[in-house]
Chain A
Amino acid sequence: MKKNTLIGLAALGALSMAGVASANDAVCGLDNGQVATGAPIKVGGIYGNAAPGDFSAAVDAAKAYFKCVNENGGIHGRPIQYLVENDQWNPELAAQAAAKLVNDEAVVAMVGNSSFVEMSVNAPMYSANGVMAMASGCAASECFESPNIVSTNQGPLPSSVGAAMYAVEELGATNVSCIGMAIPSVGNWSCGAVQGYMESKGLNGSFVLLNPAAPDVNSALLEAMASGADSILVNLPAGLGIAFLNAAEEQDLGAAYSWTSSTPLYDTSVPRALGDYWNGKLFVSAELTTIDGTGPDNQNWLNVMDAYAEANDPRDTFAQSGYLSAKYFVKTLNAMAPSEVDDRAAVTEAIQSIKGYTSDLMCGPYYVGKAERHMPNHAGIIVEIRDEAFHVVRDCFEYEGPYFQPILEAEKALGLR
Chain B
Amino acid sequence: MPITQSAKAGLAFALLAFVLLPVLAGGQWVKIFISTGCFILAASGVAFMYARLGMVSLGQVALMGVGGWVMLRMNHAFELPFEINLAVAGAVTLMFGWLLAMPALKMRGLYLALITLMAAGGLEVIFSTFRFPNGGEGFWGVMPSVAAPFRRPFLVSDDTDYLRYIIAAIVAGFLIIELHMRSAPGRAWAMIRRSEAAAYASGVNVVYYKAWAFGLAGFLAGVSGGLLAGGLGLLDPATFRASESIMLFALMIVGGSRGWLGVVIAAALYRVVPALFNDWSIDADISLIIFGAALLHAITTAPNGLSGQLTDLFTKEVKRT
A–B touch (CB < 8 A): the answer is yes
A residues whose Cβ falls under 8 Å from a Cβ of B:
49-51, 85-86, 88-93, 95-97, 99-100, 102-104, 117, 120-121, 123-124, 127, 141-142, 145-146, 182-185, 188-189, 211-213
> A99 — which chain B residues lie within 8 A by C-beta?
27-28, 30-31, 159
A184 and B142 form a contact (CB under 8 A): yes
Contacting B129 at CB < 8 Å: which of A100, A146, A182? A182
User: Within the complex, what minimum Cβ distance (angstroms) separates A187 from chain B?
Assistant: 10
Q: Identify the interface centre among A49, A91, A145, A146: most chain B CB within 10 Å of its CB.
A: A91
Q: Interface SS of chain B: helix, strand, loop or mixed?
A: helix
User: Could you give, for residues 162-192 of chain B, a 1 whenever the CB lies within 8 Å of some chain A CB and a 0 otherwise?
Assistant: 0000000000000000000000000000000
> B233 — which chain A residues lie within 8 A by C-beta?
124
Known A-B contacts A99-B27, A124-B233; the reply to A185 vs B32 at CB < 8 A is: no
> A103 — which chain B residues lie within 8 A by C-beta?
26-28
> B145 — which chain A residues lie within 8 A by C-beta?
141-142, 145-146, 185
Which of B69-77, B80-88, B213-221, B234-242 has 4 or more CB atoms under 8 Å from chain A?
B234-242
Kindly state whether residue B149 has any CB partner on chain A within 8 Å. yes
Known A-B contacts A95-B31, A95-B232; the reply to A120 vs B239 at CB < 8 A is: no
Q: Which of B132-152 contact A (CB under 8 A)?
A: 142-147, 149
Report the separation of the CA atoms of residues A184 and B159 in the bound assembly, to the nearest whole angstrom: 29
A211 and B129 form a contact (CB under 8 A): yes
User: Within the complex, what minimum Cβ distance (angstroms) separates A223 from chain B?
Assistant: 15
Contacting B284 at CB < 8 Å: which of A49, A146, A212? A49
> B143 — which chain A residues lie within 8 A by C-beta?
184
A91 and B149 form a contact (CB under 8 A): no
> B195 — which chain A residues lie within 8 A by C-beta?
none
Extra 4 A-B pairs, beta carbons < 8 Å, given A89-B238, A100-B26, A100-B27: A99-B159, A103-B28, A123-B147, A185-B144
Known A-B contacts A120-B236, A121-B234, A184-B144; the reply to A100 vs B28 at CB < 8 A is: yes
B residues whose Cβ falls under 8 Å from a Cβ of A:
26-28, 30-32, 35, 125, 128-129, 131, 142-147, 149, 159, 231-236, 238-239, 271, 274-275, 278, 281, 284-285
User: Within the complex, what minimum Cβ distance (angstroms) separates B130 from chain A?
Assistant: 9
> B238 — which chain A residues lie within 8 A by C-beta?
89-91, 117
User: Within the complex, what minimum Cβ distance (angstroms) separates B111 from chain A?
Assistant: 25
B275 and A142 form a contact (CB under 8 A): no
